[in-house]
Structure 1
Amino acid sequence: MQIAPMPLNEAARQCYLQSLDILDTPPEETFDRLTRLACVLLDAPMALVSLIDVNRQWFKSRQGLEITQTSRDLAFCAHALHAEDMLLIPDACADPRFADNPLVTGGPRIRFYAGVPLRFADDLTLGTLCVLDTRPRQLTQTELAHLRDLARIVEREMLHRSLAKDAGSAVEQAGRTAKASAQAHFHRVFDNSPTSKTLVSPQGRIQQANREFCQLLGRPKEALVLTQLRALIDPQDQATLDADWQRIVAGELDSQVSEVRLITTADPALWAELSLSALRDAQGAIEQLVVLVRDISARKRRQQQLQRYQSTLEQQVAQRTEELARSQETLQAIADNLPVLIAHIGTDLAYRFNNAVYRQIFGVEPTQLKGRKVEDVLPAQVYAQLLPYFRKALAGERVEADDVRYSPHDARIWHATYVPDIRNGKVEGFFVMSLDVTERKHKERLLLDQATLDPLTGLPNRAALHQSLALALQQRAALALLFIDLDGFKQVNDRHGHEAGDAVLQAAAGRMLAAMRADDTVARLAGDEFVIIARGVNSQASARDIARKLCAALAAPIVLAGAEVKIGASIGVYLNAAGQPPQSAEQALALADQAMYSAKRAGRNGFSVSQG
C-alpha cells in the first residue's frame, strides 16, 4: 500500500482548512443533498464530501458509509489532493497503490473510486467530492461532467458558509468597539481605541489621528496631521470619496459609508471601509467629521473569490443549458436538489423553467409555471419591487436584490441574482437564482440586539444609553435626564425571591415606557437603576411634571403570582437647556445621580431637579 505524499503547500492548506471552522461540525442538509444527488446521477452506493486533516480524513457528508473518518494513510482522497482534474480508480484490486489497502481488502471493500478535488484560494485543495462502489466500473463523459459540476457547487457552499461566519464576527467586533468607546472619556478613547479613527475638517484636512489609524497607514502622527484625507486615497477611488463628502458637507446626509483603497507603506492599495459622520454645532454647521476606518481587504478577497466561482458556475449553467436540453430530466433533478430557487425567464417575462423550490414557495408545480407570466405568479407588491431588476437583466446587466420576500405570509428572506441569458450577442431572457439567507439575517440581528439590549427588560443597555446620550449632548439638544432608583426593591427580593424581583423590574420597565413618549429613551443602567432621556424638555416645570408622573406610575401596586407588592422611586433630574455647552455623558449622569440621592435623602418616592 502506497501512502500519498504531502502537498508542497500543506501548511497553508491546513491553515485555510482550520479557518473555515468546518471540521467536526454536525451534518448539514446543504451538503447531504449534494452527496445524495451524486449517488443518484452516478448510480453509486457511496458518496462523500471528504476533508483531509493533519492525520485523518473526515467526512462532512456521507452516503452509504457508517464511519465518519479514517486515517489519512488509508485515504484514497489523500492521493486525490495531487490530481489536476479528477482521480479515477476503475479497479482498486488491480492498482498497486491500493490493492492491499484495508479499505479494499476489508470493509467497506472499495473496488471503484472517483474523486474531484475541492480547490480554493491560491490553489489550496482541502479534500474531494467522491463516489465509491464495491464493483469495478467505468464512468461515461456525462457522468464525469455531473461529478465535476457537483464539486463546484460544494466549493461554493463552503465559501458561502465561510462568508456568513466572517459577517457574524464583524458584527460582534463592532458591538465590542461601540461598548468600549461609550465607557471612557471621548479623547482618551479616541487615542487608544482599537479602531482606526481620525478627525477631519470640513475642508478635508486631518486634524487628529489615533494610534491605530497611524499604524494602518504606516506613518507617524506628525506626518498625517494637516494632510488632505483625499491624498491617502487611491486615485481610482477619489471620486467616490468626493461624492460622499460633498453630500455630507451640503447637509444632505449626516453619515455615509464609503469603500475605497488606501495608500499605505505596506500595501499600496489596501481596501478599507470609511464611515463618515458629521459633528455639527447648535446652528447645524459642520465642525468636524469623524472618520472610522476598517480594513476590509480579507472580505474583498473573499467576495472577489466568491464572485469568480459564482461567475464560473453561472457561465457553466448558461453554456450547458443547450447541451442538457436533450436530458431535461437530469437537469431538473440537479436543480431540484439545490438549496436555491432557480428559474429561466424570457424576454416576455414569462417562465421557461423552474425548479422544485417554486413548489415550496408558491405551492405551484414547476411544470405548471412554464409559459405563465411572472406578474400572474408573484404577489403584486413583490412584482412591483422586482420589476426594475428584471428590466436591468433584460438590458444585459447582471444585478442582485437583497432582502427579497416572495410572500407577505412567508417570513423567509432571500438574496436574488439575475443573470442575462445572452446568445449570439442578443439577450434571450435571464436566469434567476435566489438563496435563502433568513438564518444569516436573523443571526446578524441577534448579535446586534445582544450588544445593545438588556436581556431581562428588553430596554437599551448601558452601552446603548451612553451612545444615545453622548450624541444628544454633542448636538446641544434640550433634554431632561432622569436617573431612577427603585425604592423598596431589595425588600421585594428578600421576601419574595429573585424571580419576583425580576418580574417587578419588568413591570417597572413597562410602566416607564407607557409614561414616556415614543422618541424618548428608556434604558436600564444596572440592577434597579434606570435612566430616561426625555428630549425637547426646556423647563424645570416640564421636567417636574414628567418626574411626578413617573413617581405616581411606579408607586402603584404590582400584582405578582399570589402576592401584591409596592415599590416607589427616587428620581434625580438633570436639565440640559438647548444650546448650552455640552457636558459629557458621564458628567450628565453624575449630576442626575447626585439629584437622585437628594430625592432619596428627602424621604424617597420623590424627585429632585438639578439645572445644568
Structure 2
Amino acid sequence: MQPVPEWHAAPLPADEAKRLQLLRSLDLLDTPHEDVFDRVTRVVAELLQVPIALVSLVDEHRQWFKSRVGLDVCETSRDVSFCAYALHSERLLLIEDTHEDARFAGNPHVTGAPHIRFYAGAPLRSSAGFVLGALCAVDTKPRKLSAAAQAALCDLAATLEREIVQREAARETREVQEVDRRKLRLSESRFHAIFQQTPTGKAIVDLDGRFVEVNPKLCEITGYSADELVAMTFQQITAEADLPADLQLVDDLLDGARKTYTLEKRYRRRDGGTVWIDLSVALIRDDRGLPLHFVSTMQDITSRKHSEAVLRDYRQELERRVLERTCELTSSRTALQTITDNLPVLIAHVDTDLRYRFNNQVYREVFGVDPAALRGETVRDTIGAATFERCLPWFRRALAGERVTHEDIVYEAAPGRVWNATYVPECRRDEVVGFYIMSQDITETKRRENQMRSEVMLDALTGLPNRRALAEQLALSIAAARDEEQPFALFFMDLDGFKNVNDQHGHDAGDALLRQVAARLKKTTRAGDLVCRLAGDEFVLLARGVASSSACSRIAQDICRAIGRPFEIGGGEALLGTSVGIAMCAAGFDTTADAILADADRAMYEAKRKGRNGFRFASVLTADASALTS
C-alpha cells in the first residue's frame, strides 16, 4: 500500500482581513436558503451531471454552503476546503483527478467521505475584486470538463456575482443612509441646544401663525408658559394696531417678495401688560421651494422704546413751543427773524413749489448761505439732490395736510451731524399753502443713545465687558465650537490678597486697584480675546482659537506674572496674585455656558487650595490637557 500524501491547507489571501470584513457585512453567512442561489446549484448539477453542486463562502475557520445539492452538511472546516484554494484562482480552479494532484491527494475529503475525485470551482468576486467563495461542482470519479462546460460554469458564477454586487451596493446605501441619519440627529441636537439657550426669544411658527416650539426666553418675554404658547397663534398675542403690518410682511415672505423681514411691534403679555419687541422672521422652504414654517427671533426693546418716547415727547414739546411763538409773531417778520435766529433749530417756511419763503440764521451756520439769499430758492438746490430725494416723501405728506416727523436726516453740507425734522402744514381757508420746517440737531442725543446701549454690556467700574456680554459671547463661541470646529478656552480668575488690600486701604483704593488689574489683563491678552469682569474681584478671559493645553498654560503663566507685579496704591505698593481655573472646549464638543463656567470656577478654587497665584485645569477636560498644574 502506498503511503497517503501529506495534506496542506491553502494559504491566506493577501487581502484576507478586508475580504472577511466585506463577507460578514453582506448578511450572507448563516442565512436561510434563497431561490436565486438554489436555482444556480440545481442548474450546475444538471448541466454538468455531477452529484454535488455548492455555493461555498469561505469564512475565517470554515467554509459555509449558502446553497448545496447532494450534500447533507452545511459547512466544513476551512483547513480541508478545496474552495480555500479557489480564492487564489483568476477564473476557474479545475482538478480532473484529485489522486493525480499533489495538492489534494492527501485531503481527508479525498481519502475519506465523500471521496472527492473531481472538483471545478469558479471564484465569486465582489465589486472591489475580493474573492468571497466559489460556485463549485464535485464528483466522486475523475472526469474531463469541456471548454464549453467550463464557460457555462463561469457564466453561472457571474450571475451570482451580480447578486452579490447588488447586495454590496445595498449595504453601502444603508451605511450612507445611516451616516446621514446620524448627522441629522447631531444637527437637530445642536439646533435644539442653541434654540433653548440663546439669550433672545425664539420660536418656530407654522404657516397659520401657530407656535410650534418656543424657547424659555420667549416665555419670559410674554409671561406665558411654553404649553400655553403652543396652543396660541402670534396673531392672538400681537397688539391689534401692529397686526396688519405684520401680516402684510408674512404675505410678502410667502409670495417670495422677500426672504426675511424685521419689525418693531408689541406683544400683549399674559398679565395684561404690553412689551415691545424687535422681531426678525425667516421663512424655511423644502427642497422643492414649498414653504414649511417660519423661524422667529424676538428681542425685548421695551426700555429703548420708553427712552425714545421720552425724547420724542421732548422734541414735540420744543417744536410746539417754537411753532406757537412763530405763529404769534407772523405779523412782525423782524421780530420773528430775531427770535428764530437765536433758537438752536433750523427753521424755514416753504411754499407749495418747495421754495423757501423764510429761513433763520442757523442756515448760515449749517449751509454757509445768507438766509435772505435763500428766499425764492428751491429746497433741492440748498440741501442737495440726494438728501432732497430722501426727504421728498415727507414733503409731499406735509403738503397733503399731514404733520410729519422725519428721523435721522444727514445734510450734505454737514455730513458729521444727524438731524430730526418736523414738517407742519400751513393752512389758509382749509387749503395747504406751504409748510414750516423745524430741524433739530440730534447728533449728541444719538451718540448718548448708542452709548447707553453699549454701556448695558460694560462693567461700570473697569469698562470691561460684563456678565451679560460674557453670556452672549460664550453662547456664540459654544455654537462655533460645535458647528464650525472652532475651539476656545475659558480662564476664570480670582485675585489673591485683594480683600486684605480693600480692608486696609478702603473701597476707593480697592476700586482703583481693580481698574489697574483690568488694564493689565487687557494688555497681557491678545487683541481678539474677551476679558470680562463678573463681580467683585472675579475676572474671566474667553480665548478663541486656543486648542492645546500648552497654549493655555502659557496664557495662564502670563496672567499670573502680570498680576504678580506690584501695584501702586495710595503712595505705596500692593502685592496681589491670581488663582486661575482653565476649562477648554475642543472643536465639535457639546457643552453649555453654565457647565463650562462651573468647570473653570471649580478649577480656580483648586488652584487656591494648592497655594494660590497659580492655575489648574478643570478636572473633567474637554481637550488634550491632562491634570496640568502651574
TM-score by length of 2: 0.48
| Bigger relative contact order, structure 1 or 2 (CA pairs below 8 A, ≥6 apart) | 1
TM-score normalised according to structure 1 size:
0.49
Q: Max radius of gyration: which structure?
A: 2
